[in-house]
C-alpha cells in the first residue's frame, strides 16, 4: 500500500469497534475515514489518518450521555522495531507494524479514536444542579456563619 501510494475512503459502523464501544455510552453512528499511504522525502513509510465521528460519552459531572464530535488528522510513521522511532520526523507518531508489514486499517482507526477520547468526559454545556452542591449560590457571597480562625488558638498559646 505504501509503494502504490494507496488511499482509502469510507465509513465504519461504531458498533463494530468492540474496544471503543466499551468506553462509550452509545454505539450508534458511523466513523467517516480517509487513509493515505505513502513515503516522504526521507523514505519514511507513513499513513495519514483522517477520521470524523460523533461519539456518545457519559458525562462524569452529570452522569448523562452527551455527544462529542471527534476529528482526527494524524500522520503515523510505519516502523518495524521500536528503535526505528528515533528516525521519524517530529510531526510523525510511531505505529509498530508486524514483521510481515501488514496492518488492519479498522484497528488503526479504532486505536486513534481511543487515543482522542478525553480521560474524564465532561459535557461542556453541563453544570451541577443546586441539589447536588448542597447550597445556594448567594450563601457563599454573604460570608456569614464563618468559623473562627483555626490558628487563633495558636496565637493565644504564643502569648
pLDDT value of position 130? 64
58-112 pLDDT per residue, tens: 999 889 999 999 999 999 999 999 999 998 998 899 999 988 878 899 999 999 9
User: Residue 45: is its pLDDT beyond 80?
Assistant: yes
Q: Which residue has the cell 486513534?
A: 112
Is residue 152 very low, low, confident or very high in pLDDT (cuts 50, 70, 90)? Answer: confident
Mean model confidence pLDDT for the chain: 87
> Would you state the cell numbers that stand for residue 139, as one nine-digit string?
450563601
Share of the chain above pLDDT 70, in %: 87
Q: Are strands 93-96 and 65-79 parallel, antiparallel or unpaired?
A: parallel
Q: Residue 3 pLDDT more than 70?
A: yes
CB 14 within 8 A of CB 21: yes
CA distance 19 to 114: 8
Whole-model pTM over 0.85: no
pLDDT at 144: 52
Evaluate if residue 137 carries a pLDDT over 90: no
Q: Secondary structure of the chain: what % helix, strand, coil (to 5)?
A: 25, 30, 40
Amino acid at each position: 500500500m505504501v509503494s502504490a501510494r494507496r488511499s482509502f475512503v469510507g465509513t465504519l459502523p461504531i458498533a463494530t469497534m468492540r474496544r471503543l464501544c466499551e468506553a462509550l455510552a452509545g454505539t450508534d453512528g458511523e466513523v467517516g475515514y480517509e487513509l493515505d499511504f505513502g513515503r516522504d522525502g526521507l523514505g519514511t513509510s507513513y499513513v495519514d489518518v483522517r477520521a470524523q465521528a460523533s461519539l456518545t460519552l457519559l458525562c462524569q459531572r452529570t452522569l448523562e450521555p452527551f455527544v462529542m464530535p471527534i476529528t482526527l488528522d494524524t500522520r503515523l510513521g510505519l516502523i518495524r522495531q521500536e528503535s526505528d522511532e528515533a528516525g521519524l520526523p517530529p510531526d510523525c507518531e510511531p505505529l509498530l507494524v508486524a514483521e510481515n508489514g501488514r496492518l488492519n486499517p479498522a484497528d488503526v482507526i479504532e486505536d486513534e479514536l481511543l487515543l482522542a477520547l478525553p480521560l474524564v468526559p465532561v459535557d461542556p454545556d453541563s453544570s451541577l444542579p443546586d441539589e447536588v452542591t448542597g447550597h445556594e449560590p448567594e450563601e457563599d457571597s454573604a460570608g456569614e456563619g464563618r468559623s473562627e480562625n483555626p490558628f487563633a488558638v495558636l496565637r493565644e498559646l504564643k502569648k
